[in-house]
Structure 1
């Protein structure tokens, strides 16, 4: 397996090269100090796995990952960085990296990460994974809130009545509408919230309506 190491700190690069020389199945094909050098090399050469630092001059790791994913879709990408914050992890994953690891990782574990990424697995550090979960959860909540906001005023009135456990007849009497109209509103509520029953709709209401 051929790998490319990109990091603007020579000490880091040399340390990685020295370590990988102890691994029989991993060969360092090239060292780069920025993203432009990575792309220049890849234009005429092949690397199975590219290891990228986030912060590099001329072209950083995120932009380099995007370019690699577009131009060399079969190449595996591992981000090796000191940053595990939301604003770094999410863009890296969105750029298409196959792995995201911290620089304090045990060298032998890093070698195993590279092997597994090469085989097609996705390897995300625990700290980075927690940021991903926060992102996914936040996006899910935003989508649910959006659905609730799409309800008309009358549909929200009906949803509030559902939250109180009232029957269709009780809702009709309380809102001074027919049961047929209640059923129509209920159907719209279920459809817009993408739920199948009154209980699920009520849970939406409890969660997002004040």
Structure 2
């Protein structure tokens, strides 16, 4: 992966703690080198397979786990599902060479918060780690385009999935999801407590039939709830 400079836009809060899981040492080294360009991101551990990734996540409690899909023993998709069920779940980003629709669908259904391709611009890796580390979700632009196309096809066959079922406050929360905000950031913007926002997010997901924040964010994008320049 190529090197890239990073703007210092993070706050004075503690760094985003990251665990890298990939069976190829060169890939792990490249990912670590890219993340090292941001002083507000810290790699706390590396794993060579899914079993080790789950064990190290329990030990180090990272904010974000970067998972390759094809690893020996326990693959990244299975590891993501296990991490999603942990008592103290972490943000999970799939970082892989393979962007097949089946992989994307299985990853999101398994609880992944992001999906990036190794061929993406290194800045996408940093953007994804920051977003998921803050409690949001992130998709590679190429992956997002395919997910949107799939959702449009699904909604054409299931027209009952509509934003009309949302209250005004739920639409406000959905707009926040569409811009990648965490629950805390949405609460600050709407002058609500974080627990109330969490309840609204759950209601939005249920009413839209969305499986996760990623699909809800795409709904906000399609509905025009995301201002130009913030998508």
Same fold (TM over 0.5): yes
Q: Which residue of 2 aligns with 1:110?
A: 125
Name the structure where helix makes up a greater proportion of residues: 1
- Note the alpha carbon deviations across 1:129-176, whole angstroms, 9 max, x for none: 2332343234334446xxxxxxxxxxxxxxxxxxxxxxxxxxxxxxxx
Indicate the SS of the match to 1:55. coil
**Alpha-carbon distance change, 23 to 126 in structure 1, aligned in 2, over 3 angstroms:** closer
Q: Do the aligned partners of 2:19 and 2:65 also contact (CA within 8 Å) in 1? A: yes
- Match 2:50 to one of 17, 28, 35: 35
**Alpha-carbon distance change, 104 to 13 in structure 1, aligned in 2, over 3 angstroms:** same
Matched ranges for 1:7-156 at <5 A: 7-143=22-158
Mapped partners of 2:87, 2:51: distance in 1: 14
Q: Which sections of structure 1, spanning at least 5 residues, go unmatched?
A: 145-210
**Alpha-carbon distance change, 31 to 72 in structure 1, aligned in 2, over 3 angstroms:** farther
Normalized against structure 2, the TM-score is what? 0.58
**Alpha-carbon distance change, 85 to 121 in structure 1, aligned in 2, over 3 angstroms:** same
Q: Do the aligned partners of 1:80 and 1:102 also contact (CA within 8 Å) in 2? A: yes
Indicate the SS of the match to 1:71. coil
Indicate the SS of the match to 2:43. strand
Q: Do the aligned partners of 1:85 and 1:131 also contact (CA within 8 Å) in 2? A: no
- Note the alpha carbon deviations across 1:164-194, whole angstroms, 9 max, x for none: xxxxxxxxxxxxxxxxxxxxxxxxxxxxxxx
Indicate the SS of the match to 1:30. strand
Mapped partners of 2:32, 2:53: distance in 1: 16
Q: Which residue of 2 aligns with 1:159?
A: none
**Alpha-carbon distance change, 37 to 121 in structure 1, aligned in 2, over 3 angstroms:** same
Q: Do the aligned partners of 2:45 and 2:60 also contact (CA within 8 Å) in 1? A: no
Pick the structure with greater CA Rg: 1
Matched ranges for 1:187-206 at <5 A: none
Q: CA RMSD in A?
A: 2.0
Indicate the SS of the match to 1:117. helix
Q: Do the aligned partners of 1:66 and 1:95 also contact (CA within 8 Å) in 2? A: yes
- Number of equivalenced pairs: 145
Q: Which sections of structure 2, spanning at least 5 residues, go unmatched?
A: 1-15, 160-231
Q: Which residue of 2 aligns with 1:160?
A: none
